Structure 1
């Protein structure tokens, strides 16, 4: 077996390759309609999805997609016949508002013989702001910031988002009616519910505004007055799955964490290491999830149970970070994967033979330029030797600085897909 960093990088590359739209999208092409084909989409994987669909589709089409700033310009503003717009992530901006308006324009006025293909991936919630009447873009930004700092799981966040939006929760599909809508999804959601990916602009689910209000209360969310007024009225009710205007639409999950974890497991086997997939849908506080992973790793290292070493434990899903501090003086910088690894490093401090890796498959962990980092039983000690207090760094959510000081950040750059986090713990 090669060194742990090389080994983890191989697993990451295998996981990302398994979610490459250029590879998987051909298996999900819809039938040719009598009328027009219009492609719309949003998310961190929208550019490669659009490029793959444009290359695979042998008939006429038009389209427009939205990706995050910096990920669309390299193609000159287009993926073949599909225009590419850019907007902000994870906090919406005015460019996103303008892009959303253009998506609505693209699907209006279609007939029953026309086809809309929606290319949806994680990150689309922020890229498609469209506040309902009575709310402003500033209100939607404030909602998003409150959700990101709350520690709520992504499913809960998206339940709130879709009831405070006029595009999420199926509204874009209703705007396309009576055209048929076929949604192709690269899922970054634990459990792969397509209605939660990008808050489901073309996919309805059964959650209600009362569910959204319950989440607001549970997590103590301080939302703008305009948002709370909207949630208190029937105007916040999102379309339901049995809405007759959605009948005949199709939804396909074309890439997911489960498939990527299986690919990583196969890559580990080729390197002579048994792989155990713990789960593809882990949620919860990053530092708490780290504690559980570390406890299993210590048990294997000391007692060869519940699995014999050498072994690599794999897990996916999306953890959360409740912000205890903000960036700036005394504040921290670091995404959920960095926080997971910093807590893990503290929990295995001094244990030889335990190595860990965590990274977001889209190539960006939070708002930094890294996807994640590497850690092992020496990480906490090396931080202290460098003059850093790892526990203090964790307390201020500053994992980025801690791992940057060691040169242990993992920065592959944007990958063009997004099936959420890959965590790997090697015990040997």
Structure 2
């Protein structure tokens, strides 16, 4: 196998480990534990439609008893027989997502009883898809603030802190609406640390953050706020239900797929191919270009010094880096990482890499990521461009499309955050 084929094989193994068809059935109730009342299936996220399909395919009782509403990103829907699937916009919400989320809150989970079960299917992307603004806040307000935060370099935890305090459905409020039914939430994690209160802004779990913290985030990144939005936060009208609130007494949350599990699957695949594999972290954060330079320094140390690992080997990492968009490019944290990595490696002859988002969407484009190899700097120059200029313009997608090095998967039906693999060849060895 070529280095690029090896890297793609590792990425495919990571995706396979987090497929809803594989992980959802393990967490469904058995036939003897089915509820006496109704079973309402709700959810949001890029993997949520595939999760709903897995529920229908593996429900231990009569699937005709299932009903509900799940919201996913455009292009990520899959057909279901009993559960309604609505596609809407991500990462900035649109009217379609707003209407569906409002219907979920006001009708789908309305008038439930204590014998009913709400099965809530949540994955990354759910924050933008559950777009019901708090009273006095408009969808246009949320769209403008969201766009600014996404371009600011804020972490996902910071962004979701703000989202929760401008929402009528996130930050545990969906659980309040489901009372007195029992709520079982199945989570596919796309956030560093796998914190359920951050994944899709925690619609069914208590929120430990505050309005004051949301204001701190907005001020930190100089996000312009309409006066009524600032007043909403300063008055604490947007405060969310906290852990320990009685509404969560009948709520259970299970992590069913995580970035760590995906990285472990990739490591197993690497060992099958005769390579040692080293997971650096499943929770890396920071500016993509800075994270890339650290990875490049470590790859060089392995290749040139045999420390701390011996080549041939693969370095694996996950997490969610950020991009502060200041240029005219499309951004995309994985391609930004790769441009900076290629620049720092400067054509090192024994290092190849792949970085991609496991949902198939890096930034706002339907491109998962890309690959680099020792020829990337020279081929970039042959296009009349310099890696430094590409990085300054946040135009990784433009470069890798021109080079033919983009990784395009289409909707993967899962979302366990970024995947990075750096392959370091042994001296004088050909893979």
Matched, 1:273 2:270: no
**What per-residue deviation string (whole Å, max 9, x for no partner) do you get for residues 27-76 of structure 1?**
1113311111100000000111000011111232111100111222x62x
Alpha carbons 1:334, 1:368 under 8 Å: kept: no
| Equivalent residue for 1:389, pick from 382, 386, 390 | 386
State the Cα distance separating 1:382 from its structure 2 match: 1.1
The counterpart of 2:350, out of the listed 333, 349, 353, is 353
Which piece of structure 1 moves more, 108-117 or 200-209? 200-209
Counterparts of 1:309-388 in structure 2 under 5 Å?
309-325=311-327, 331-388=328-385
Q: For the residues of structure 2 that align with 1:3 and 1:241, how far apart are their CA atoms?
A: 50
Mapped contact 2:7–2:354 kept (Cα < 8 A): yes
Residue 409 of structure 1 corresponds to 406
Range moving further from structure 2, 222-231 or 297-306: 222-231
Q: After TM superposition, list the pairs within 5 Å mapping 1:19-168 onto structure 2.
A: 19-30=18-29, 31-57=33-59, 58-59=61-62, 60-72=65-77, 75=79, 79-104=80-105, 105-168=107-170
Counterpart for residue 417 of structure 2? 420
CA–CA distance in structure 2, aligned partners of residues 10 and 289 of structure 1: 23
Deviations 1:201-251 (A, max 9, x none): 112221111111221222222233332121111211101111112112100
Alignment RMSD (CA, Å) = 1.1
2: CA distance, partners of 1:206 / 1:350: 46
Contact 1:15–1:261 (CA under 8 A) maintained in structure 2: yes
- Asked whether the equivalents of residues 143 and 224 of structure 1 are also in contact (C-alpha less than 8 Å), the reply is no
Taking structure 2 as the reference length, what is the TM-score of the superposition?
A: 0.95
- CA positional deviation for 1:13: 0.8
Tell me the equivalent position of 2:429: none
Q: Which stretch has the larger CA shift, 97-106 or 220-229?
A: 220-229
Separation in 2, partners of 1:260, 1:370: 19
State the shift of 1:167 in Å: 0.5
Q: For residues 259 and 225 of structure 2, what CA distance do their matches in structure 1 show?
A: 31
List runs of 5+ in structure 1 lacking aligned partners: 326-330
| Residues 25 and 49 in structure 1, CA contact (< 8 A), matched pair in contact too | yes
Q: Which consecutive residues of structure 2, in runs of 5 or more, have no partner in the other structure?
A: 426-431
CA distance in 2: counterparts of 1:172 and 1:206, whole angstroms: 16
Per the TM alignment, residue 378 of structure 1 is displaced from its structure 2 partner at its CA by 2.1
What's the counterpart of residue 262 of structure 1? 264
Which among 180, 199, 215 is matched to residue 178 of structure 1? 180
The answer on whether the counterparts of 1:139 and 1:226 sit within 8 Å (CA) in structure 2 is no
**Pair 1:238 & 2:237 matched:** no
Corresponding pairs, count: 418
